[in-house]
Amino acid sequence: MSLDVGLDAVYHSDGESCFERASRYAPTIPISMAKVGERGTIVRISGKDDVRKSLNRLGFVAGTKVSAVSTAGGSVILEIKGSRIAIDCQMASKIMFCPES
């Protein structure tokens, strides 16, 4: 079972797809590389099946808004669906997102 979603299937609030925006502005990046305070939309979760399923259970699903709250000691704190979740940077590198401009 694949949890990946194509870039053209994820849209920003202005109706523009991540694919359109990424091709005009910036490529998608791992959330582990996001600056504190940066918001965006999850495009896909990479990695092994068990990693994708674990992240999915935490709410990291393609099309969901996420923001980087802070970083500390090799972990990143992300806000998703009104909750803050701390995950290590290696796990965060599996979450690809399209930053808002």
For residue 1, what pLDDT band results from cuts at 50, 70 and 90? very low
- Please give the residue range of the domain that contains residue 36: 7-99
In a domain? residue 84: yes
In a domain? residue 2: no
Among 7-16, 28-37, 52-61, 76-85, the range scoring the smallest mean pLDDT is 7-16
Q: What is the CATH number of the domain that holds 26?
A: 2.30.30.90
In a domain? residue 85: yes
In a domain? residue 64: yes
In a domain? residue 43: yes
Q: What is the pLDDT of residue 78?
A: 97
Strands 83-88 and 75-80: antiparallel
- 0.75 surpassed by pTM: no
Render pLDDT for 36-76 as a digit per residue (tens, 0 to 9): 999 999 988 999 999 999 999 999 998 899 999 999 888 99
In a domain? residue 65: yes
Cα separations (Å) of 86 from 44, 68, 69, 79, 81?
A: 19, 10, 9, 9, 14
Percent of the chain with pLDDT over 90: 60
